[in-house]
Amino acid sequence: MSAVTEACNTPGRRPDSVQGCYYDGKRSRRHPARLLVHGGCVRVCNEQGGLLDSMDSVRELRISPRLGNTPRAVYFPGGGHFETPDNDGLDRLMGGGGLVHWLESRYLFVSVSVVLTALLVWWFVVQGVPALARMAAFSLPDTVLQKLGREAHALLDEQWLQPSALSTQEQQRVRHAFAPVLENFRQQGYVLQVHFRGSEDMGANAFALPSGDIVFTDDMVRLAENDDELLAILLHEIGHVTSRHGLRQVIQMSSLMVVITLVTGDVSSLSSMAVSIPIMLMQLGYSRNFEREADALALREMLADNIDPLNFVTIMQRLQQQKACGGKKSATECGRGLPDFLSTHPQTEARLKPFLSAAGN
Amino acid sequence: MASYSLVVSGEVHEGFDKEHVKSVFRTLTGLPEARTDELFDTGKFLRQHNLSEEQAQRKRDALAQRGIVCYLEKETAGSVVADDHTVAPVVPGISSHDDTLTDPPSMYARDDAKAGEETVHADVGGMAVEQQGEGERLPFIFAGRAGEFFRIWIVNLLLTIVTLGFYYPWAKVRSNRYFYASTCLKGDSFSYLAEPLAILKGYLVALLLIGLYVFANIFNSLASGVVILLLFALLPLLLVRALRFRARNTAYRNIRFSFTGGVGDAYAAFLLWPLLTIVSFGILIPLMIYKQKAYLFNGFRYGESTFRFDTSAGPFWRLYLMLFAMFIGAGVLISALTMVLSLGGSDLQSLPMVAMVLPMILLPLVYLGLYAFLFVRQTNLVYNAVALEQHRLQSDYALGSWLGLQIGNLLGVVLSLGLLIPWAKIRTARYRAQHTHFLAAGDLDRFVAAEEKKRSALGEEIGSAFDMDIAI
């Protein structure tokens, strides 16, 4: 007891003490206090020299790890705690401030962290997410694709599509032209089905659903000058199906959300806009990659089936001209569309280059 | 015998016209108009000490009938000397069986002249005035710095990535601790005490639930529907868990907060009311928001002391009506503007362009403006209604400065490719602290810690995964 009072009564600030406040954990009163370490014993004394709390061994006390320059607490077993903003003093008395704080206070490590984190996030978004999505998409059973496709098809039929206005003969003619290609893929295990639909909103368009349903709008069929052009489009869409692009897109989107949430922490109010922009841009980037993949398959198949690759070029150019100018002016007059990074599809010129050079050979 | 004090908070019950209530209250008590205005329009209190339980309840009921919000507080022994002989019969004006005020007591003049115990005794029977507002208006001070937090944030991020996400609970605790410890009230900072391992467990369970849903969704739409319904049904329960976890791990001056809201009430506020709102085509939104906020803030405790949500649904109705009117007004204005512009356009080619582009630019701006308006007004409304015993919160978010903050944050984060996220967070926290005050009715030394109760460990940990940002 005498040692205790002696320690408490030592006047002035000694090198083995830190100033702070003590809270007993029972009432919300603040007691200005000093924490002293004396021969392995820890004591907290108030300004009058009275003992507030003590512990025989420094090792058994819990000390909150250092965190910037925020005040830290020493927790006593009785429920009281001593809090001090004097972090250096506390470290001197009670030992280190923790590894993470050490890392945080080295500017070299912080700089390395910035570079490393940026590189890792970049790599993960550009390479990791698509690779992961591809792996996941190809390891999921066909039933998943069927289900996704059915749902999408039902939604499209309900909202965007009308029954086709094409004559039965015209439909039959196109189906007949498609038959050998479809049969070829059926033998490889892909069940593909072609649908014709009218659509005022979409104009000339064709798209593939994960289930293997490929939809041609009436305007698309009318836009084509021969069936080989339609075959070129069909092969491109088959590329989307065999590469499971629909499913991969869904997986990529959700992985991106997870990454962004990890980076930003809890996203609140208007800042969520800041988050949706990069997600959208990345999504567009993935989408352009899918188009290139589908183009590559289309070109390969066209060469294998002895279809002139120029057919893809001609219909794509007509399509672009119609999209950009509403079919009124020539392509040169209405200028370029959106810049590449804002577009779901790559610039048409760049896309068509491989087809042109293949056609030239 | 225990004595009670009756506190009039200056709020008006739902469905009562404030001006009418004020005049009724003036008649009942003889309080001068200026003082009545002060009571009802600023955050001040009126208190009558030293009533028996029965008296106090009768007065409370009489006032409540007339739309005046008031509540009883048990007086701690020794705070006021109870003297049964001086307890006069209830003043006619406030008694429940006589509406007319024959002789308005003039104690308010006396209250102004004298102070202390004497006033209390002289005013027994009437409404003794004690201006709690005389207490201090304490600022919340946020001392966090962007540079310091940036280092914590980037190291957190790197460690989280390198450990494939397993460090995330530690990162979250570190980040939360920084914001709590940097927030100061009257010289003492808040503490965040959650254990990372507890949070990790919560996340693993949450992951399992999400995995279950994804699995069910992939293979069977019916099963996934069942899982979704189950999750929805569990949501209020999880919310309560999260609130308990968050509150229990928050402390100020070594006294922990807690959340005591019941599970049943949570289902009413967060399942029943949203359903009713959907059924009513959204008309009940203000009432739903009010019920939810009331549930939250009536549930918090600091030590043994309870928080109250001291307002009625009225202001919420007014706010949302105003919002609706502004929305309609903006819509009419934009259509009118579009019409005028397309009429004035001589070039036929540009006509559809104007009609298309103008609403596309203006509508998001209007949406953002209205959102900001709602957020600022509702934040003020909610926090101004939060009381802790005689203490209150005061919130004065302003539309212009808040929009400036958010737009600055948005631009900063986008242009820096995310590197300024910590800066934006610090700015937001600083704004919140600068625009919130604690109206202390007395000193803050008398709060008592609650008895540590046994708690279901895992339940609250699961809740932590669904933790939302609820500021105290």
The C-alpha atoms of residue B128 and residue B50 are separated, in whole angstroms, by 10
B76 with B85: CB under 8 angstroms? no
Asked if the Cβ–Cβ distance from B253 to A30 is below 8 Å, we say: yes
Q: Same domain for A92 and A205?
A: no
Does the CB of B448 have a partner CB in chain A at under 8 Å?
yes
- Top residue of A104, A105, A244, A275 to mutate, by most chain B CBs within 10 Å, is A104
Asked, for residue B141, whether it belongs to a domain, the answer is no
Residue B199: inside a domain, yes or no? yes
Identity of the residue in B151, B254, B368 whose CB atom sits nearest the CB atom of A81: B254
* A113 within domain boundaries: no
- Looking at the domain assignment, is residue A332 inside a domain? no
Instruction: Give the range of the structural domain holding residue B108, as residue numbers without chain letter.
Output: 4-134
The verdict on a CB contact (< 8 Å) between B181 and A25 is no
Res. B209: pLDDT tops 90: no
Beta strands in chain A, from DSSP E residues, in sequence order: 17-23, 31-38, 41-46, 51-55, 62-63, 72-75, 81-84, 162-163, 193-198, 206-208, 213-217
Same structural domain for residues A159 and A282? yes
- Taking 3-state DSSP, the helix, strand and coil percentages for chain A, each rounded to the nearest 5, stand at 55, 15, 30
Task: Read off the pLDDT of each residue in B296-307 and give the average, rounded to a whole number.
Answer: 92
Range of the structural domain that residue A51 is part of: 2-98
B96-138: pLDDT as tens digits: 333 333 333 333 333 333 333 333 332 333 333 334 445 788 9
In a domain, B260, yes or no: yes
Nearest by CB to B447, which of A28, A71, A266?
Answer: A28
Give the Cα separation of A324 and A311 in Å (integer). Answer: 20
Segment B313-317 shows an average pLDDT of 93
Q: Is the residue at A330 inside a domain? A: no
Which range has the top average pLDDT, A161-175, A182-196, B62-76, B320-334?
A: B320-334
pLDDT of residue B251: 93
**Same domain? A270 vs A155:** yes
Query: Quick one: which of B364, B171, B295, B143 has its CA closest to A263?
Result: B171
Tell if the CB–CB gap between B178 and A70 is shorter than 8 Å.
yes
CB A67 within 8 A of CB A114: no
B13 and B97 inside one domain:
yes
Residues A218-233: what's their mean pLDDT?
A: 87
One domain for residues A287 and A144: yes
Q: What band does B174 get if pLDDT is binned at 50, 70 and 90?
A: very high
Domain count, chain A: 2
pLDDT score recorded for residue B384 = 93
Same domain, A155 and A58: no
Residue range B254-280: mean pLDDT, rounded: 90
Answer yes or no: do A128 and A258 share one domain: yes
ipTM score of the complex? 0.72
Residue A97 in this model has a pLDDT that exceeds 70: no
Would an 8 Å CB–CB cutoff place B178 in contact with chain A?
Answer: yes
- B198 and B123 in one domain? no
Contact B92, B98 (CB under 8 A): yes
Residue B158 contacts A where some CB pair is shorter than 8 Å: yes
- My answer on whether A154 and A263 are in the same domain is yes
A212 plus A351 within the same structural domain: yes
Write the CATH number for A10.
2.30.29.30
Q: Is A182 in the same domain as A227?
A: yes
Alpha carbon distance A69, A85 (integer Å): 7
Tell me which of A245 and B73 has the higher pLDDT. A245
Q: Within its chain, how far is the Cα of B232 from the centroid?
A: 24
Residue B130 sits in the same domain as residue B9: yes
Q: Is A16 helix (H, G, I), strand (E, B) or coil?
A: coil
* Cα→Cα distances B416→A113, A263, B33, B413, Å: 16, 14, 56, 5
Whether residue B107 is found in the same domain as residue B197: no
Q: Which DSSP symbol is given to B15?
A: T
Q: Are residues A165 and A271 in the same domain?
A: yes
Q: Give start and end residues of each alpha helix (H) in B262-398.
A: 263-267, 273-279, 285-299, 314-344, 351-384
292-321 of B, contacting A, C-beta below 8 A? 303
Percent of chain A residues past pLDDT 90, beyond the cut: 4
A59 vs B465: CA distance, rounded Å: 32
Query: Average pLDDT in the B22-27 region?
Result: 70
Q: In this structure, what token pair is assigned to residue B208? A: 């399992």
- Cα–Cα distance measured from residue A201 to residue A207, given in angstroms and rounded to the nearest whole number: 14
In chain B, the residue whose alpha carbon lies closest to the alpha carbon of A65 is B174
Report yes or no on A196 lying in a domain.
yes
Sheet with A17-23: strands ordered across: A51-55, A41-46, A31-38, A17-23, A81-84, A72-75, A62-63
Asked whether residue B63 is assigned to any structural domain, the reply reads yes
CB pairs under 8 A between A and B: 137
Determine whether the interchain pair A71/B149 forms a contact, defined as Cβ–Cβ distance below 8 Å: no
Worst-scoring range by mean pLDDT, A44-53, A199-208, B59-68, B418-427?
B59-68
Residue B398 touches chain A, beta carbons under 8 Å: no
Mutate to test the interface with A, among B151, B159, B246 (most CBs of A within 10 A): B151
At B112 the pLDDT is: 36
Considering the domain boundaries, does residue A103 fall inside one?
A: no
Judgement on whether residues B9 and B121 belong to the same structural domain of the protein: yes
Tens digit of each residue's pLDDT (9 = 90 or more) over B90-101: 333 333 333 333
Distance in Å, alpha carbon of A104 to nearest chain B alpha carbon: 5
Total of domains in chain B? 2
Residues A351 and A245 in one domain: yes
Q: Which residues of B touch A23 (CB under 8 A)?
A: 253-255
Residue B407 touches chain A, beta carbons under 8 Å? yes
B209 within a domain of the structure (yes/no):
yes
A101, A254, A271: best mutation site toward chain B, by most B Cβ within 10 Å? A271
Query: CB of B110 within 8 Å of any CB in chain A?
Result: no
**CA atoms of B263 and B265, how far apart (whole Å):** 5
Q: Report if residue B84 sits inside a domain.
A: yes
Question: What separation, in Å, do the N-terminal and C-terminal C-alpha atoms of chain B show?
Answer: 36
pLDDT at B178 over 90: yes
| Nearest CB to A264; choose among B148, B421, B447 | B421
**Residue B62, amino acid:** A
Whether residue B301 lies inside any domain: the answer is yes
pLDDT at B463: 56
Query: To probe the interface with A, which of B149, B254, B451 has the most A CB atoms within 10 Å?
Result: B254
